[in-house]
Each structure stands twice: as structure tokens, then as C-alpha cells.
Amino acid sequence: MNDRLAQPFQQPKTREIAERMAEDVKGRSLWADARRRFVANRAAMVSVVVLTLIVLFSLFGQIISEYDIETIDWDVLGNVATAGKPSIENGHYFGFDENGRDLYNRVVQGSRISLAVGVIGALVAVIVGTIYGATAGFIGGRVDSIMMRLVDIFMSIPYMFVLILLLVVAGRSITMIFVGIGLTAWLDMSRIVRGQTLSIKNREFVEAAIAIGVPTWRIIIRHIVPNLLGVVVVYATLLVPQMILTESFISFLGLGVQEPFTSWGALLSEGTKTMNYGTLWHLAFPLFFFVVTIFCFFFIGDGLRDALDPKDR
């Protein structure tokens, strides 16, 4: 009798179900949800692929070329418009620049610097801005007032003027650009993060954590920051092209990276100077990478915003 009763559980299918019920169920986090929505966004996914290709190009592009960024081809110099055209046969894929150097390698190297400035600048802004803003917002009261008034003061200084002054006084160098951009970029971020923190701070789960007795720093790290991250990520992807544009503008003014190194802004600046002499490729190649990259970041930022905050669509 007992055997008969036990029998159904011996059936393979029943047993399988019973085993599966005993296992831990895996939940689907909000992040997983967002990822699914992001992957379904075609423009954003195409942008991710294109951007990956551009990053790979900037990192490993020099492998398929036998030239470097600074060797001058004296045969071409002075005759770039006719002898320096882009050509697959002679290995100068993007032709020569005004000084007879290989443009392909210069674009590869310029992309690397511009992307680095964009990504590192945004990263500094995100880290400093998030910590600063979350602290001010969470502590509140007088500390918040002082911290945010400080941000207001920094913001009222025309930063392009400071940046130019910094580059003139301390000399042109890529580190100086990082410092100059990093000094100002976190200000907006800290304001956005503070605003978000204020609204999260009054949610009940933060109250619950306070009632439990969780230390303040753990509340900021475990409860506030993960809930801020959506906004921060979206803002950061939109900050990268902004950083690239700033660096380009500085380079365009002739204050950016030091020769022989270059960046998109510097290349564009050279390109515009010679566009009347029939060497349009000087402008076309860096411009292509510049525009495509910035578009990619904007599409990805849009995609992330839609994915992380479906209510706002």
C-alpha cells in the first residue's frame, strides 16, 4: 500500500518537478529587465557595435600599417594635393597630411587620445560627482547648503577661460587637459545626484535601513547609490561626447595636445586650414570618426535612458 502511494513520486517527470521546486528560484532584477529592453533597441545596439569597432580601431589600428605618426615623407611634402591622395596600394590608406606624414596612423592615434579624454573625463566626473552629491543630499541641512553653495561658486567661474589659462600657464599637455576638464565636469553631475538622493532619501526602504541601525556610509553605498545608478549611467554616456567636444574645441584653438601627438580636434583644425587646396581628406577622415562616435554615444545614452526608466518614455 505504501509502495503504491509512493509510486507517483518515482515517475521521472514528477520527480524532476519536485526537485526543481526545491531549488532556489532565480529572480529577475531590475538590471536584467533594463538589459532586455536595451538589447531590443536597434539603434542603440548598432551604436554599441559601431563604437566597439571604433575603439578597436583606435587601439589596434596601427597594426595593419607599416608607417608611424611622425615620419615625414619628403617626396610628398609640398605636393600633398596630388601625390598624397589616399591609396590602398602604397599603404597610406588615408593619404598624407599637410606635413607629409601618414594620416591613417595619425587618425588612429588621435582617436585614442580623444576617446581617452572622453571616457576618463566622464569617469572622474561620475565618481567625484556621485560621491559628492550623494553625501550632500543624504546628510542634508547645513552640510548640504555649504557643499552645494561651493558648487554654485565653481559653476559661476567661466570654465573655458580657466581651462585656457591653465594650459597657457602650465604648458600644453594631455595631463593638463585631464585636470582642467576633470575640475569642472563633476559639478553638473553632483547637482543631478544630489537631487536624486533627496528623493530617494525619503523613500521607506531608506527609513527602514535607518530603523534597523545600518551605518550611514552603508546606507549610501547599498541603498542610495544603486538606486541612483540609472540616472548616473545615462548622464555619463551623454557626458563622454561632451568631453570629446570640449577637448576638440581646445585643440582646435591650438591649445590641446602637443605635437607630434594629435587628437580629433587637432586633426580637424589642420583639415579646415587646408580644405581650400583640394586636400579634403584631411578633413573628411577625422570628421567621419568624430561624428560617428558622438552619434553612437547619443544613441546609446538614449537607449539606456529608455531601458532604465521605461515610465518616462
Partner 1 sequence: MNVQSPLLSVRNLKVWFDIKRQGAMPWTPTDTLKAVDGVDFDLMPGETLGIVGESGCGKSTLARAIMRMVPAEAGTVLWLGDDLLQLNHHDMREHRKEMQMIFQDPLASLNPRMTIGQIVAEPLKTHHPGLSPSEVKDRVREVLDRVGILPNMINRYPHEFSGGQCQRIGIARALIVKPQLIICDEPVSALDVSIQAQVINLLMEIQEEMGLSLIFIAHDLSVVKHISTRVMVLYLGNVVEISEAAQLYRSPGHPYTEALISAVPIPDPTAEASKEVMILDADLPSPLNPPSGCVFRTRCPIAGPECAETKPPLSDRGNGQQVACHKR
How far apart CA 102 and CA 84 sit, in angstroms, is: 9
**Greatest C-alpha distance within the chain:** 103
3-state secondary structure of 20: helix
Report the nearest approach of partner 1 to the CB of residue 216 (Å): 9
Q: Which of 92, 223, 282, 305 binds partner 1 (CB under 8 A)?
A: 223
19 binds partner 1 (CB under 8 A): no
Which residues have CB under 8 Å from 98's CB, separation 6+? 80, 270, 273, 274, 279, 282
Q: Which stretch binds partner 1 (CB under 8 A): 18-26, 60-68, 287-295, 297-305?
A: 18-26
When the beta carbons of 143 and 210 are compared against partner 1, the nearer one is 210
Q: Name residues contacting partner 1, limited to 148-207 (CB under 8 A).
A: 203-205, 207
Q: Which of 131, 198, 209, 284 binds partner 1 (CB under 8 A)?
A: 209
17 binds partner 1 (CB under 8 A): no
Q: Which of 208, 221, 253, 291 binds partner 1 (CB under 8 A)?
A: 208
291 binds partner 1 (CB under 8 A): no
Identify the burial level of 127 via C-beta atoms within 10 angstroms of its C-beta, where 0-12 means exposed, 13-18 middle and 19 or more buried: middle
Rounded to 5°, the CA angle 4-9-11 comes to 95
26 binds partner 1 (CB under 8 A): yes
C-alpha distance from residue 150 to each of 140, 185, 198 (Å):
14, 14, 18
When the beta carbons of 6 and 25 are compared against partner 1, the nearer one is 25
3 binds partner 1 (CB under 8 A): no
Q: Which of 88, 213, 311, 312 binds partner 1 (CB under 8 A)?
A: 213
311 binds partner 1 (CB under 8 A): no
Q: Is the peptide bond before 260 cis (omega within 30 degrees of 0)?
A: yes
How far apart CA 26 and CA 49 sit, in angstroms, is: 30
Q: Read off the C-alpha cell for 215.
A: 551605518
Q: Which stretch binds partner 1 (CB under 8 A): 68-76, 167-175, 210-218, 299-307?
A: 210-218
Per CB under 8 A, residues contacting partner 1 are 21-31, 203-205, 207-215, 218, 222-223, 226-227
